[in-house]
A and B are shown apart, each in its own frame.
Chain A
Amino acid sequence: DQQVKQNSPSLSVQEGRISILNCDYTNSMFDYFLWYKKYPAEGPTFLISISSIKDKNEDGRFTVFLNKSAKHLSLHIVPSQPGDSAVYFCAASPDNAGNMLTFGGGTRLMVKP
């Protein structure tokens, strides 16, 4: 039973356009959500996070939106750059669970020049 789901295994976007990566979760106890980026042969690197008290968090070209009622979050990258091509993992944890995260299956983003 996957508690965190990324239903799109891959996404292809033109350079300069917006990339939207989606994530759904089922556990209502999740209060903290993160996005990680992973290049081949490297460990995941933290990108951006959001807690359940907010519905939006922005950091440069990256914005995460949280819709608690729909149990849905999304990562927007704008403008997309070829260097953004990687696998993006959505992750979630209950409050005070630290980094014992439940990850989604990942979405492979390809940004074409």
Chain B
Amino acid sequence: GAGVSQSPSNKVTEKGKDVELRCDPISGHTALYWYRQSLGQGLEFLIYFQGNSAPDKSGLPSDRFSAERTGGSVSTLTIQRTQQEDSAVYLCASSRQENTEAFFGQGTRLTVV
């Protein structure tokens, strides 16, 4: 596709369940970023991938959060044992290189009930 694609667009899950969020970056973009926007908050950086490696995981809020990227393309963000405070919009962005313009996907709205 022409832009960054995220799926699902909406996810409602029960507290304690695991969820997996998917990001398809723009083809050829080597850098991939995950952010989240909680209610009333700004965008919060979670993790950055350069190729398949994640040089910066400093933003992951707890060890329940993990992410991987395979083949230098698709990335999945996994949240284990979800909590209500995990409810947010999770946004993925990609850029051709590390210091070039980043393009965002539409986000996945996660609601933990």
Are A99's CB and B41's CB within 8 A? no
- The CA of A63 and the CA of B44, in the complex, are separated in Å by 25
A24 to B13, CA, bound (A): 37
Inter-chain contact B91/A100, CB cutoff 8 Å? no
| B94 CB to nearest chain A CB (Å) | 9
B107 at the interface (CB under 8 A from A): yes
Given contacts A103-B43, A106-B42, contact A98 B106 (CB under 8 A): no
Whether A30 is near chain B, meaning CB under 8 Å from some CB there, is: no
Partner of A102, one of B45, B91, B98, B106: B45
Which one of B40, B43, B44, B99 contacts A44 once the chains associate, using CB atoms below 8 Å? B43
What total of chain A residues lie within 8 Å of the partner, measured CB to CB? Answer: 22
CB-based contact A44/B42 at 8 Å:
no
Complex Cα–Cα for A99 and B33 (A): 8
A101 at the interface (CB under 8 A from B): yes
A43 adjacent to chain B (CB < 8 Å)? yes
Q: Are A100 and B99 in contact (CB under 8 A)?
A: no
User: Which residues from A are CB-within-8-Å of B101?
Assistant: 46
Choose one: A4, A44, A102; the contact of B104 (CB below 8 Å): A44
Contacts of A98 in B (CB 8 A): 31, 48, 95, 98-99
Check A70 for interface membership: any CB of B closer than 8 A: no
- What's the interface size class on B, roughly? 20 to 34
Residues of the B chain whose Cβ atoms lie less than 8 Å from the Cβ of A101: 43, 45, 102
Chain A residues close to B by CB (< 8 Å): 2, 4, 6, 36, 41-46, 89, 91, 96, 98-106
Knowing A43-B106, A100-B33, say if A4 contacts B56 (CB, 8 Å): no
Contacts of B65 in A (CB 8 A): none
Q: CB < 8 Å: which of B40, B59, B95, B105 contacts A99?
A: B95
- How far is it, in angstroms, between the C-alpha of A98 and the C-alpha of B50 when the chains are bound? 11
Known contacts A100-B33, A105-B40; can you find 20 more A-B pairs with CB under 8 A?
A4-B42, A6-B42, A41-B106, A43-B91, A43-B104, A43-B106, A43-B107, A44-B43, A46-B101, A46-B103, A89-B42, A91-B43, A99-B31, A99-B33, A99-B93, A99-B99, A100-B56, A101-B102, A103-B35, A103-B43
